[in-house]
Amino acid sequence: MNIHSGERLYGAVEAGGTTFVVAVGTSEGEILEHSEFVTGSPEATYDKVCDFFDENPV
C-alpha cells in the first residue's frame, strides 16, 4: 500500500448480500487499496474483511 506519511486514512466496508467491497482511502477521496469478494458464510466473510484490514491498516 502507498503510505501517505502523516495523513489520516479511512477504512470502508460495503456489505451486500452477494458481494462485499472493502477499501482504504484518504480524506481527499483517493482510494489506495480495495478488494471485492463474494459474500460467504458470516465467519468466512468476516475473516476476509479482517484479513484485508490486517494487510492494509488504517
User: Alpha-carbon distance 46 to 27, whole Å?
Assistant: 25
Q: What is the pLDDT of residue 25?
A: 96
Q: What is the pLDDT of residue 6?
A: 73
**pLDDT higher than threshold 80 for residue 7:** yes
> Which three three-digit cell numbers place residue 53?
484490514
pTM of structure: 0.85
Segment 13-50, tens digit of pLDDT: 999 999 999 999 999 999 999 999 999 999 999 999 99
Q: What is the pLDDT of residue 49?
A: 98
**pLDDT higher than threshold 60 for residue 3:** no
CB 12, CB 23: distance < 8 Å: yes
